[in-house]
Chain A
Amino acid sequence: MSATAASVRSGAWSRFGHAMNNERVRRAIISVIVFVGFWEIGSRSEDLFGYRFPWIGLIPAPTDVFASFVPLIGDQGYWTSWYQSTRRVFTGFIAAQIVGIPLGLAMATSRLFYNLSFPVFEVMRPIPPLAWVPAAIIFWPTEESSIAFVTFLGAFYVVVINVLGGAKSIDVRYFQSAYSMGASGWDVFRRIILPATLPSIFIGSAVGMGITWEVVVAAEMISGGGGTSGASGGGLGFFIWNAYIGGSYPLIVVGMISIGVAGYVSSSLIRKLGETFTPWRRLR
């Protein structure tokens, strides 16, 4: 098609124009502009109207936030914080998958194992990951491992519960027809239980990813950033804490937005993976 060829030739601008033609993208941009505009006016309300809006009048304006963000672009410490938090999130998250998915599947497929493990699991589950922070700091050898452990817990329970629920709610007719077509127990596990549970695994992962970001930030604040390389290497949670201690309000907001962006990117990644691995769900 000639339209495609043209867009390839003129590159990024044409792609941008194309995206702007998309209703969804246009609405997303409007939503951000309105939000930031409202925030800007609200923050500067005292200068503009002589009246300070409650709450929002105290928050640094987006332009101030942006101004304090610009020097950070070249600041290695800031990016190290990104790296540290991301690394911790993914370490905890992947560990939770590695332990949680087999555990959930085992609980779903073996009644004996379910009866033995579920009561303990259900007692442990309501304990918020953050309640583990003091214990983790005391018991685990390094602060790094304490943070990793708490992050792991953040995703672990959600992953297990989703895998368990997904695998338990598989329609019995799938098993019956698989068995009557000659499938073995292993075939049923590999070709029925696993693919049927895959959507729940991804739902659990998306939720779990959100929780790990919540948890890692709080754990970094409480534990003092893991103590590895002081202020700059402590992760985004410690970055915020540091800005708070230093009294730099715009930097607090920079840290917050950084976490929002990081969480959004991580969740999008999980969603994309989910779409790739469960193609039959895309048509719904």
Chain B
Amino acid sequence: MIRKRIIPVLLLKNNGLYKGVGYDKYVYIGDPINAVKIFNDMEVDELIFLDIEASKNNKVISQEFVEKLSEECFMPFSVGGGIKSLKDAKKLISAGAEKIVLNNWAINQPELITEISNSFGSQSIVVAVDTKKNWLGKQKVYSLSGKKSTNLNLEEWIMEIEKRGAGEILINSIEMDGKMNGYNTDIINRAAKSVNIPVIAGCGAGAVSHFKKAFEIGADACAAGSMFVFHGARKGVLINYPSKEEIENIYT
């Protein structure tokens, strides 16, 4: 199997890193730059930084912050949070981000995906999709950190995202977030089958075996939050990443 990426997802709020359970309760993780330094030393595959207050406050993830990150980061990183125009994307990519992550604004203005893709190439744009079952049991897409239902059907939306020119899709299963019980393999599988662009599994990972399972059912990369910042039964904050041996074992 070709090597697939394992990506820590770090959430930003007021210049600090936070991690949540179920999109509404947050624990302080610490200084983002220190986290980057540690992940650098751990030689992680990639990083994703999402500013979780940006959209809500009608702001964009800070360009200055992205510049600081790019000075410290020796691997690719993506940034997201309130990006809503080509100008926003340009600022962040010039600041040093490899990719920008769209979520709410991809839904509001899908033509933005094409605009950014045409200017910077499809590999520069990841669209994150937050999904959960609605009260009728249908897999729907949600916006605004899982609070607003869009009535978009999951597979239709991700095919649209591909058509519009995005490079990758990050699938977040809202119900699984922060639980560390594994990915929602059903929707990862369905997503991977519907598009020809890489699909990143997000939300729910708690063990290296979850990555193996996700790769086997078609994910091209795995993202995780809680797993890389918590340790043990009491969920003590401790930045960590699988060892080289643990990663090699996925492929044997």
A and B assemble together: no
